[in-house]
Amino acid sequence: MGGIIAATQTGQASRRRERMAATAQSTAYRGEPGYAQTAACLLCVQARDDEAVLLQDSHSIMALHGYITAASLQRQGLDSPDALKSSLDRGAQAILQRLDGEFSVVHFNNLASSLTFYCSTSATRPLYFQHTTAQTVVATEIRQLLGVGENRRAMNRTAWAQHILFGHQLLDMEDTLYHGIRRAHSGRIYQLDVRTGALKRHAFPQSLAIDDTITREEAEAKLVDTVDNAVLDALRPQHMGLALSGGLDSGLILALADRHLARQDDTARLSTYSIGFPGWSMDESAVIEETLCAQHRRGAFVDGTRHPPSSYFEHLSQATDLAPLALTDCYIEMLGPVMAKDDCRFRLSGLAGDLTLGFGLSYLAEYLRTGRVYKAIRDAVGFENRQPFSLTTALRRVYRLCRPAKQSQRPPPPAWLPAAQRPAFDAGLDRQADYVAQYGRSIGPRMLLIDAFRAGAWSDIAEQHAARWGMDLLSPLTHQSLIDLGFALPHDWLDGGSHNRRMIRDATAQLVPDSARAYRPKVAHNAFVTGDKALLRFADNPSEWRLVDEHLVSPEHLATTIGKSRSTGQIDLGLSTLLRAEHLARRFD
């Protein structure tokens, strides 16, 4: 495991080491800290094994958290973290955007009084920062920033309103739910001039050019080969645990990982962990057993019916200072204690495979290439979903801002939004319009779509779940090499609808059992939340809700939604979103 916290003060000496040490130690599951200090910058790194590196000489210091793939290092003529540091010392910061893997980097050049920080496009090693003209602090966790100076758990009210409407998709994609704390965009280089306090951002140069020289058969082989290389790069020498569902992504990772581990006669280095729901329609135990049988394995199973999701929500909010986003957060938390008991040091995950191996990126890129931006958002990968936490809904609303700024074209406020909160909602729209404008009319929409994917807040809680149980998250399907390939292939090869993720399903016929490759809607998983009676008990007193007290949700709408859920005996999914947000809201000052 590893974590980073860095602090600079403009034109002054760095913060006292004792205060920084106390901040770093606020996260009990991290390892012993190491320090590097110059006149204007102090870096603290907490690390175990090879997942964090701290390098220092008389001119500069660099902290690296996570791993960079060997192939991408070699392509840049680098052979070690020391070589990367030397490149950054020479001012070659753009090299960071040409590296692949799951990592974040903080680099301070003492001679140039320049602080650079960057997290890779995988979005699984996030960086948060707080920047003022007097001070900048960068950290891998929000709670580390909350421990600096006089910082309080103050609400970013505009972000909270957007969070409830869009789920985890905020209109200002650097925003967090905490006042004054920002989240670094994955793939974007941040450079701070410590002398002036000026902070510059350099966007990722994503190519949308389609490869019209490749055949369908060649593309299938290249897709599997790219995933195979990503899995190989992710494998660690210590004990790893794979969260194995009944789906294609984790089944493919298992097949490819076993192929590499078998060559080393070391398949025992990887164990699998699954969740069963005996008697429920969402149970995929039989499919999981078939996947295990194909690899001549036996895996550990946890009974998912023993504890409802409500038993995890408050627990997760306290553990991560983030709002649980989805049912998978509960699944991860179920497996954490079992993996920790088996001394797993790393958790392999199929996170974001539906985007990088599926139709999402390719479909949107096709519309961008042909200039049909608004149709891309109206149709967004075939979903016409009315749920308030839908990414599709968020993007559709956001893209209306790219049109002329007439009040009639603004998205209407949601029904649950109190009238007093409308100015904050409008302010968020204005801020997003300014964000688009800085890129210019021609590339603003394109950058916004890519940034929406790279905002990456969905990965933060998964990474912190793993760390809480003493593990580092490994997500090979988020690698930039797969993102590039997804943008380069014709969208009808990775079609949506009934042919969901057609190419990867066809390409893996010899690797993954048919049952795991078959398309199965995830709707049945909603029963895990909708049947949770404990959530209704939590909703008993709407007048005591923090979201109501802060005028973020109208009590009338909340009472109506709760009443509807009580009459049917099932939780409305929109109410579930509010319940998860309320658990976190109660932790704010």
Kindly state the average pLDDT of the residues 490-514. 76
**For residue 334, what pLDDT is reported?**
86
Strands 52-56 and 60-68: antiparallel
Q: Supply the mean pLDDT for the chain.
A: 76
Task: Tell how far CA 465 is from the center of its chain.
Answer: 12
Question: For the segment 473-485, what is each residue's pLDDT rounded down to a tens digit?
Answer: 899 998 888 888 8
408 band by pLDDT with thresholds 50, 70 and 90: very low
Which H or E element spans position 318? Answer: helix 310-320
Token digits of residue 102: 């799951």
Higher confidence at residue 482 or residue 107?
A: 107
Scanning the structure block, which residue is given the tokens 């999402």?
360
The listed range with the strongest mean pLDDT (195-199, 342-346, 528-532) is 342-346
- Please state the rounded mean pLDDT for residues 155-181: 75
User: Which pLDDT does position 456 carry in this prediction?
Assistant: 53
Per residue in 196-206, pLDDT tens?
888 998 877 76
What is the pLDDT, as a whole number, of residue 374? 40
266 vs 231: CA distance, rounded Å: 15
CA-to-CA distance for 130 and 152, rounded, in angstroms?
Answer: 13
**Whether the predicted pLDDT of 215 surpasses 60:** yes
- In what side-by-side order are the strands of the sheet with 128-131? 33-37, 41-47, 2-9, 135-139, 128-131, 182-183
Question: Which residues are within 8 A (CB) of 385 and not within 5 positions of it... i.e. 6 or more apart?
Answer: 392, 393
The predicted-structure confidence for 375-406, as pLDDT tens digits, reads as follows: 444 443 333 333 333 333 444 444 443 343 44
Task: For 65, list phi and psi in degrees, rounded to 5.
Answer: -120, 125
In 10 A of CB 29, how many CB atoms? 16
pLDDT for position 459: 67
Residue 329 confidence (pLDDT): 72
**368-379: b (≥16 Cβ within 10 Å) or e:** beeeebeebbeb
**What is the average per-residue pLDDT within 174-195?**
88
Distance CA 456, CA 185 (A): 8
Q: Could you tell me which residue, 353 or 249, shows the higher pLDDT?
A: 249
The pLDDT confidence band at residue 138, using thresholds 50, 70 and 90, is very high
Q: Which residue has the higher pLDDT, 566 or 411?
A: 566
> Best-predicted range by mean pLDDT among 29-33, 236-240, 313-317, 418-422?
236-240
Cα distance between residue 481 and residue 120, in whole Å = 12
Average confidence (pLDDT) over 26-35: 55
Candidate ranges 47-51, 174-178, 300-304, 382-386; pick with highest mean pLDDT: 300-304
pLDDT reading at 499 higher than 70: no
Q: What's the pLDDT score for residue 458?
A: 56
Please state which of the ranges 95-99, 395-399, 504-508 shows the lowest mean pLDDT.
395-399
- The pLDDT value recorded for residue 532 is 75
Residue 162 has pLDDT above 60, yes or no: yes
Determine the pLDDT at residue 291: 94
SS3 content of the chain, % helix, strand, coil (to 5): 45, 15, 35
Length of the chain: 589
Mean per-residue pLDDT, 257-285: 91
CA-based nearest residue to 188, from 136, 111, 129, 229: 129
Instruction: Place 88 in a pLDDT band, splitting at 50, 70 and 90.
Output: very high
pLDDT confidence tier of residue 194, bands split at 50, 70 and 90: confident
Instruction: Identify which has the larger pLDDT, 469 or 287.
Output: 287
Report, as an integer, the average pLDDT of 300-304. Answer: 91
Closest to 210 measured CA to CA, from 372, 374, 442, 365 = 365
CA distance linking residue 455 with residue 182, whole number of Å: 11
pLDDT band at 167 (very low <50, low <70, confident <90, very high): low
Where is pLDDT greater, at 552 or 376?
552
- Res. 424 pLDDT band, cuts 50 70 90: low
The answer on pLDDT for 77 being more than 90 is yes
Task: Provide the pLDDT for residue 47.
Answer: 56
Q: In terms of pTM, does the model score above 0.75?
A: yes
In the chain, the amino acid numbered 415 is A
pLDDT > 70 in the chain, percent: 69
